Chain A
């Protein structure tokens, strides 16, 4: 069946028209056997993003391809027709797998490069030359590439339907991973910088995975929380969500209260789309419906069941609306299934549902009522609660609904715990909380950290000395100082500047140039010349200074990318080591994540500090290496040094401290 060269052909039907499916390195195309019977289909390989296969034992052997941006809409569905149709499909799938996984992972159009090695000639699973290295994500660990090659994973996932055995190695490697492996992966994928650091340090085997994550627990926790957060149930009342006008544009956006279901009868049959979620919610909200469903549905069709429900009086009762038109009551037909569930609306002052007596005393309104005894007087009409009978069931449903929404979040167990018998408070309950005025408490004693100051005496004494010799001119009395100031003021006031004193007149300006200069004139001229030269020299110097300062402010040529990259990596590594070092040296904060665990014990920390110090010592060499590279590349090494100076400074501070620490520890 296979075609010659790099093109393979398979007999396949498309939209029930027989034809030939051809797969090349770059395209997948289908041509009808009878020309003109159907449009020719051709798509670039780079656009295939998914494929679906029919079940292995299905009547037809089908393969559906989905393309990027959903063009052509709904994808293309081919039915293989030859005798070896199953093998054909498998072959096509194998050919497509690398592309599909690359296109899925890569996302952008640049992923169309896989053509390089992955060709029909090597169609089997796990092609190392497959698209994985070319995929957009440079990180060594991405979902698609863990363990076995991306193609393998893709094949496994997609081919499950065919019943092909899954590779055992995948499961094994999965089991070996740390618990929060996925979590870490997600965090890394979210922060490209962190990912880079991770690649350099962990995959570069400089520090271990665990060390890297130490101190970053908060990130993981936040990610875990964000990930485990699921959208809850819609908070609108159930019947309020039957928004029948949804299809119509421009209808009132407020939705309805289910009233619409009735009014629609004028304009024609109502179509309700009941999703599985919706029916489940109806069951949850109204258990009687579930009961009815369980009893009757095998008997009657599901559609009939629902349509009867929505036209029944029961539904009318379930709807949380007091708006009830008289017409409805009249036209309502009897329904033998649902009418037996009808009951009186819950509109008496006392609720039908039994209330548990488990309210804290300070919320217990019933206690007050009992305490005051039955009043002998009747409150006036407006203040009698529950007079508006029709709205009571509504109000009860609101409370009930809110309660259900509240309980959605789980915590059922917590609820159970607080229900102690008959309004006696649980032991751990603190009623003082309810009455405390927190701002009246004095400020809590500040948590001070004792400073490890060397030479305490020196500091104290030195302080004393400096205080004794304070002032601009130490050792002078106030009168002296005043006198000096006064003199200075007088001097400045009397200052007269006579420029003729400093600047000589040009002796030749007087016009008697022709005359033979007298020796005195010559002397004058010489002095003048000397002054002029000096002026010029001064001018030059000033000019140079100006130029120099301009040059200083000028924008430097940017660092070449390669060097910048090196510098950044060097800096990042140093920073990470510093972070690890200091976190190992400083005491763990009380409330910090992971406090009190084995990882924060003193011995572990000391070992870690030593290790980190070791890494830090090599920083200088690394910097020198970078400088060296810069020199070779012809870039100003001084600038590289200047840029990395703060890093080196920080490292030196840490090393200095480490040296002292070791010295102290030795003693």
Chain B
């Protein structure tokens, strides 16, 4: 359908639209008009991606300024789906007579996922693929290979690209990753480099967060993006963790060993070059004097050598004198590695700030902060000069160099933690040196600085005020949309105790209690009996899932499950899990029914949808809290408290609930879909937990369903399934489904409303307001109960002022 938002004609590829989608698009347009950032929460499965794309594409094509859309998602499946969505949108637009002939949209992913080279693509590890690809495609290899064919192996797919015109390597249009791959097979060109080289010419780019947030990658991939670009972070509920991960580095002892070996090897190589081709090193030295910028030209193909972000002025600086000479730099690295090794020998936990680390480093080894900052860049330059191949061997060394650069660059918001033992009970030391980022805003700051409009959106980012706080930005708009339903299509319920009235909880003290394990098991068995087709269950951690699965088996619970459904379990291996998922879906399709056990925050919980028959019930066993004994988490909590006044418990609950919501939200797509959402933990009954769930879920949890035993829940579930399976006319419009007329009526209403508001305001104060502020008091039907809920609950939490563990301890007697 085609409708107007303000002066903007929007083409939407369906005949109907959900009211949520319309509000979402209106708000999005306002944000784009204002040129600001926004945080929008829209219920899972109500077509967020399609609304977003259709509005932004309409926006881009309607206004004359050439803007680009950078759409970031979390996982490859989601990227692929977003691309498919875009492709279909463009097909629809073409049908409707829109003129976007030169429109280009592509997605980017790693070489491993795109490679067509017959041998390289067989490699299992992405790192190895990258490295081998570099050997075949790097500038010096190509130069040599072209000069005298056959001397150096080259990749024919890469070479073939040279026969195409720059900026037109692939015909205009939208291609999914698989489309590009197919095109590559057809034409014999490399899909990866096709996309990479087309980047500057694209209207829409879809890739994962890392390409924008991880400074090691971002500089290469996203450097040329114009300031006018519109940035979208979809499924952004986990964005702070991505930010933190991208600036954190962990070092282990084997890695240091490997780095030391690499240094020696490179040292040998330098000796050799010195004898054969001393000029080369001299040239490099001269370049380095001139500054990094020059030394690092022509680096398109070498993003695996990428380094943490350095500021512009640093790039112009000359490399410090004491590491300019290759052999000096090698000695420098050796010393640094030795120092780290010595630090690792300590058998007690150490936590220190970067400053204190640097001070100690200087005291022992005389390594200064400035040269250390250039370590990574200098290494890159050296690797290039030496024309090293198989650089995946030197991966550890690169990491050590990056570590040095990061330590020397950031003073605030980081912490160094040395943990000699993996777990508390371990007796054999396995030291890990964490350089951990505590402040997610550091990684995302360049994005907010550089781009005018950043949209952060997801199905589950409640409470909304948390994100602007921890990411340090000012949104022009934060909005959470309720879910309008003509009938209750999903049924959230909280099970707090088993049929035997023993409370259930994944709290550490009781989680392995046989009564709790059995009660969790009986929920699964009963659900498997009651619910048709697919059932998904999530556990708070891998450790818990793996221990509970074997316990269940020995209790005979899984045999019960097998009577009704097939059973699949997430495993550590991604491919293995994918195949399990595929079989799971097949079992759901052919009517056999299946149960999928997986982990919140795990591989499956991110990016795999369990819509329709693939998930008629989702069970959340316990609350997916992070591992609270983790020192990194503790440091982070402390940081949040000191800097942003976010209390530890608030953050922990917020974090757990967003993941719980993410898990249960995966069962819905569209409003004809239905499913049960089971929260199995007695702590879910508490208001402070539930209030942190997204509003669209929380609004459907009624008090009577928030504290149930297993048998009650099952009988209600049966009733629900019977009800929901009755024939229902899904075509009725007006409430949860709008036609074009409904949109126009709504716009009419809004206009009158705002006119009246202006008038009233004028009457009251004798002044006039600009019209758009009037319309901000929108959506009378929202009920107005939402927005303040979270605030109220935070206050309630303040009154109690005690943490989770303390509360849990108090309830202990009652449990016995």
Decide if A and B are genuine partners: yes
Could you give, for residues 366-378 of chain A, a 1 whenever the CB lies within 8 Å of some chain B CB and a 0 otherwise? Answer: 1111111111111
Q: CB of A230 within 8 A of chain B?
A: no
- A439/B15 contact (C-beta < 8 A), A349-B573, A406-B592 known: no
Which residue from B176, B177, B553 sits with its C-beta under 8 Å from A257? B553
Of the candidate stretches B79-87, B193-201, B259-267, the one touching chain A is B79-87
- A368/B543 contact (C-beta < 8 A), A377-B249, A439-B671, A441-B15 known: no
User: How many residues in B have their beta carbons less than 8 Å from beta carbons of A?
Assistant: 110
A374 vs B396: C-alpha distance when bound (angstroms): 12
A-B contact pairs, 16 of them (CB 8 A): A240-B559, A255-B556, A350-B572, A360-B582, A369-B603, A370-B112, A373-B214, A377-B436, A378-B434, A382-B540, A386-B546, A390-B550, A399-B571, A402-B566, A424-B178, A442-B739
- A387/B543 contact (C-beta < 8 A), A373-B110, A403-B583 known: yes
A432 vs B49: C-alpha distance when bound (angstroms): 13
Residues of chain A whose beta carbon lies under 8 Å from any beta carbon of chain B: 235-237, 240, 254-257, 259, 320-323, 349-351, 355-357, 359-378, 380-388, 390-392, 394-396, 398-399, 401-403, 405-406, 409, 422-425, 431-432, 434-435, 437-443
Of the candidate stretches B465-473, B627-635, B642-650, the one touching chain A is B627-635
A406 vs B583: C-alpha distance when bound (angstroms): 8
Which residue from B210, B578, B672 sits with its C-beta under 8 Å from A438? B672
- A378/B112 contact (C-beta < 8 A), A357-B575, A363-B578 known: no
Instruction: Say whether B587 contacts A402, CB under 8 Å.
Output: yes
- A373/B554 contact (C-beta < 8 A), A362-B81, A406-B586 known: no
Instruction: Say whether B176 contacts A431, CB under 8 Å.
Output: yes
- A424/B590 contact (C-beta < 8 A), A361-B77, A363-B608, A385-B570 known: no
The residues of B that contact A374 with a CB separation of less than 8 Å are 126-127
Q: How far is the CB of A427 from chain B (nearest CB, A)?
A: 9
Within 8 A of A (CB), among B606-652: 606-609, 626-627, 630, 632-633
Could you give, for residues 161-182 of chain B, a 1 whenever the CB lies within 8 Å of some chain A CB and a 0 otherwise? Answer: 0000000000000001110011
Which residue from B81, B217, B543, B569 sits with its C-beta under 8 Å from A431? B81
A381 vs B556: C-alpha distance when bound (angstroms): 28
Most chain A CB within a 10 A radius of its CB, from B74, B76, B113, B540: B76
Closest residue of chain A to B739 (Cβ to Cβ) is: A442
Instruction: Say whether B670 contacts A409, CB under 8 Å.
Output: no
- A323/B554 contact (C-beta < 8 A), A360-B582, A362-B77, A381-B423 known: yes
Instruction: Say whether A437 contacts B76, CB under 8 Å.
Output: no
Within 8 A of A (CB), among B593-608: 594, 599, 601-604, 606-608
Instruction: Say whether A370 contacts B81, CB under 8 Å.
Output: no
A403 vs B559: C-alpha distance when bound (angstroms): 16
Instruction: Say whether A380 contacts B575, CB under 8 Å.
Output: no
Known: A366-B574, A384-B543, A439-B16. 5 other contacts (CB 8 A): A350-B572, A388-B547, A431-B84, A439-B731, A441-B15
- A395/B670 contact (C-beta < 8 A), A385-B602, A402-B568 known: no
Instruction: Say whether B549 contacts A395, CB under 8 Å.
Output: yes
Which residue from A370, A383, A387, A396 sits with its C-beta under 8 Å from B601? A383
Q: CB of B221 within 8 A of chain A?
A: no
A366 vs B75: C-alpha distance when bound (angstroms): 10
The residues of A that contact B15 with a CB separation of less than 8 Å are 440-442
Which residue from A322, A371, A387, A442 sits with its C-beta under 8 Å from B550? A322
Q: CB of B541 within 8 A of chain A?
A: yes
Instruction: Say whether B669 contacts A437, CB under 8 Å.
Output: yes
The residues of B that contact A435 with a CB separation of less than 8 Å are 49-50, 81, 84-85, 88
Q: CB of B121 within 8 A of chain A?
A: yes
Within 8 A of A (CB), among B246-277: 248-250, 252
The residues of B that contact A255 with a CB separation of less than 8 Å are 556, 559
A27 vs B729: C-alpha distance when bound (angstroms): 69
Instruction: Say whether B18 contacts A440, CB under 8 Å.
Output: yes
Closest residue of chain A to B185 (Cβ to Cβ) is: A424
Most chain A CB within a 10 A radius of its CB, from B126, B604, B730: B126
Instruction: Say whether A367 contacts B672, CB under 8 Å.
Output: no
Instruction: Say whether B571 contacts A382, CB under 8 Å.
Output: no
Instruction: Say whether B578 contacts A364, CB under 8 Å.
Output: yes
Which residue from B566, B571, B583 sits with its C-beta under 8 Å from A396? B571
Instruction: Say whether A370 contacts B571, CB under 8 Å.
Output: no
- A322/B554 contact (C-beta < 8 A), A235-B562, A364-B76, A373-B110 known: yes
Closest residue of chain A to B424 (Cβ to Cβ) is: A381
Q: CB of B318 within 8 A of chain A?
A: no
A321 vs B672: C-alpha distance when bound (angstroms): 42
Instruction: Say whether B575 contacts A366, CB under 8 Å.
Output: yes
Q: How far is the CB of B652 from chain A (nearest CB, A)?
A: 14
Instruction: Say whether B541 contacts A383, CB under 8 Å.
Output: yes
A434 vs B606: C-alpha distance when bound (angstroms): 16
A392 vs B543: C-alpha distance when bound (angstroms): 11
Within 8 A of A (CB), among B530-583: 540-544, 546-547, 549-550, 553-556, 558-559, 562-563, 566-583
The residues of B that contact A371 with a CB separation of less than 8 Å are 75-76, 79, 109-110, 113, 208, 210
Q: How far is the CB of A391 from chain B (nearest CB, A)?
A: 4
Most chain B CB within a 10 A radius of its CB, from A357, A364, A422: A364
Q: How far is the CB of B113 from chain A (nearest CB, A)?
A: 5
The residues of B that contact A385 with a CB separation of less than 8 Å are 542, 546, 570-572, 599, 602-603
Q: CB of B245 within 8 A of chain A?
A: yes
Instruction: Say whether A377 contacts B77, CB under 8 Å.
Output: no
A483 vs B564: C-alpha distance when bound (angstroms): 76
The residues of B that contact A437 with a CB separation of less than 8 Å are 14, 47, 50, 669-670
A322 vs B81: C-alpha distance when bound (angstroms): 40
Within 8 A of A (CB), among B489-516: none
Instruction: Say whether A440 contacts B546, CB under 8 Å.
Output: no
The residues of A that contact B566 with a CB separation of less than 8 Å are 235, 402, 405-406
Instruction: Say whether A399 contacts B554, CB under 8 Å.
Output: no
Q: CB of B69 within 8 A of chain A?
A: no
Instruction: Say whether B544 contacts A363, CB under 8 Å.
Output: no
Instruction: Say whether B569 contacts A350, CB under 8 Å.
Output: no
A356 vs B586: C-alpha distance when bound (angstroms): 17
A443 vs B50: C-alpha distance when bound (angstroms): 20
Instruction: Say whether B113 contacts A367, CB under 8 Å.
Output: yes
Q: Which 10 residue pairs spanning A and B have beta carbons closest together? A: A442-B15, A386-B572, A254-B556, A388-B546, A440-B14, A385-B572, A382-B541, A366-B574, A349-B572, A367-B76
A283 vs B253: C-alpha distance when bound (angstroms): 46
The residues of A that contact B607 with a CB separation of less than 8 Å are 365, 368
Q: How far is the CB of A56 from chain B (nearest CB, A)?
A: 48
A442 vs B15: C-alpha distance when bound (angstroms): 5
The residues of B that contact A431 with a CB separation of less than 8 Å are 80-81, 84, 176, 178
Instruction: Say whether A380 contacts B542, CB under 8 Å.
Output: no
Closest residue of chain B to A369 (Cβ to Cβ) is: B574
Q: How far is the CB of B212 from chain A (nearest CB, A)?
A: 13
A351 vs B576: C-alpha distance when bound (angstroms): 7
Q: How far is the CB of A601 from chain B (nearest CB, A)?
A: 36
Instruction: Say whether A236 contacts B569, CB under 8 Å.
Output: no
The residues of B that contact A320 with a CB separation of less than 8 Å are 553
Q: How far is the CB of B110 from chain A (nearest CB, A)?
A: 5
Q: How far is the CB of A429 from chain B (nearest CB, A)?
A: 9
- A440/B670 contact (C-beta < 8 A), A380-B626, A391-B550, A402-B567 known: yes
The residues of B that contact A405 with a CB separation of less than 8 Å are 566, 592
Which residue from B434, B568, B578 sits with its C-beta under 8 Å from A377? B434
Closest residue of chain B to A434 (Cβ to Cβ) is: B81
Instruction: Say whether A237 contacts B559, CB under 8 Å.
Output: yes
Closest residue of chain B to A350 (Cβ to Cβ) is: B573
A202 vs B273: C-alpha distance when bound (angstroms): 100
Q: CB of B477 within 8 A of chain A?
A: no
Q: How far is the CB of B734 from chain A (nearest CB, A)?
A: 13
Q: How far is the CB of A444 from chain B (nearest CB, A)?
A: 10
A406 vs B567: C-alpha distance when bound (angstroms): 11
Which residue from B176, B245, B555, B672 sits with its C-beta under 8 Å from A254? B555
Instruction: Say whether A383 contacts B571, CB under 8 Å.
Output: no
Q: How far is the CB of A458 from chain B (nearest CB, A)?
A: 35
Q: How far is the CB of B42 from chain A (nearest CB, A)?
A: 13
